[in-house]
Chains A and B, each alone.
Chain A
Amino acid sequence: ETGVTQSPTHLIKTRGQQVTLRCSSQSGHNTVSWYQQALGQGPQFIFQYYREEENGRGNFPPRFSGLQFPNYSSELNVNALELDDSALYLCASSGTGTEDEQYFGPGTRLTVT
């Protein structure tokens, strides 16, 4: 069974640029959630996708957007990058059963300069 994978591992962008982060969900999972973890903080919920539709959103501006594909992999897009967007971005996948938990990937470390 393949776990949750994310790419790239690290990247550096300049303020104002756009970035796309990718996540492959665990086999059998149809739900993907994205979280932002700033340095020294707990992760914060960005949004969740279920069967290619957004299924809940946290307190993030519209320049944070996402997609989920038919194979349930997902992308997180951030436009007009700001310095405060520097963080570890975590992807988690889950099923929809009553005992399903979220399984997290190792994250993508984004640095905005």
Chain B
Amino acid sequence: AQSVTQLDSHVSVSEGTPVLLRCNYSSSYSPSLFWYVQHPNKGLQLLLKYTSAATLVKGINGFEAEFKKSETSFHLTKPSAHMSDAAEYFCVVSDSNFGNEKLTFGTGTRLTIIP
């Protein structure tokens, strides 16, 4: 079975400093991987997705992630944090290459931005 492990339950960074949210995956074949963000009282929003194309994936709001097969990692980064980035972030793996089938979520990382 496929799974993802988010290595930090809570990350705090100062506004304007880089963000790093860590995710490792386990899969018996080349996975499709995603990062979703959940703001309070709002639905989950897709930030970016990796589906076996380029290993460096750029998403919305300045976020990007790099797929590293040798390290089984898919860490999310942003060069400069903004107050509006404060939210819960989920690393997700899909059963399919399309992302429209069963999604398996990590336990989430809460990102806090310090003014």
Contact = CB atoms under 8 A, between A and B. Distances in A.
A81 B45 CA distance: 29
B112 to A, nearest CB: 15
B43 to A, nearest CB: 4
A105 B43 contact: yes
Interface string A90-113: 101011111111111111000000
A103 B49 CA distance: 13
B43 A42 contact: no
B44 A45 contact: no
Interface string A25-46: 0000001010100001111110
A8 interface: no
A104 B45 contact: yes
A104 B100 contact: no
A101 B100 contact: yes
B107 interface: yes
Measured as residues with beta carbon below 8 angstroms from the partner, the interface class of chain B is 20 to 34
Nearest to B95: A56
Contacts of A56: 95, 101-102
Contact of B100 (A35, A42, A43, A102): A102
A48 B102 contact: yes
Contacts of B101: 48, 56
A96 B100 contact: yes
B84 interface: no
A100 B42 CA distance: 21
Measured as residues with beta carbon below 8 angstroms from the partner, the interface class of chain A is 20 to 34
Given A4-B43, A90-B44, A106-B42, A101 B99 contact: yes
Q: Which of A3, A31, A45 has the most CB of B within 10 A?
A: A45
Nearest to B106: A42
A58 interface: yes
Given A90-B43, A104-B44, A106-B42, A42 B102 contact: no
Interface in B69-111: 90, 95, 97-108
Interface of B: 34, 36, 41-46, 49, 90, 95, 97-108
The 5 closest A-B pairs by CB, nearest first: A42-B105, A94-B100, A104-B44, A104-B43, A106-B43
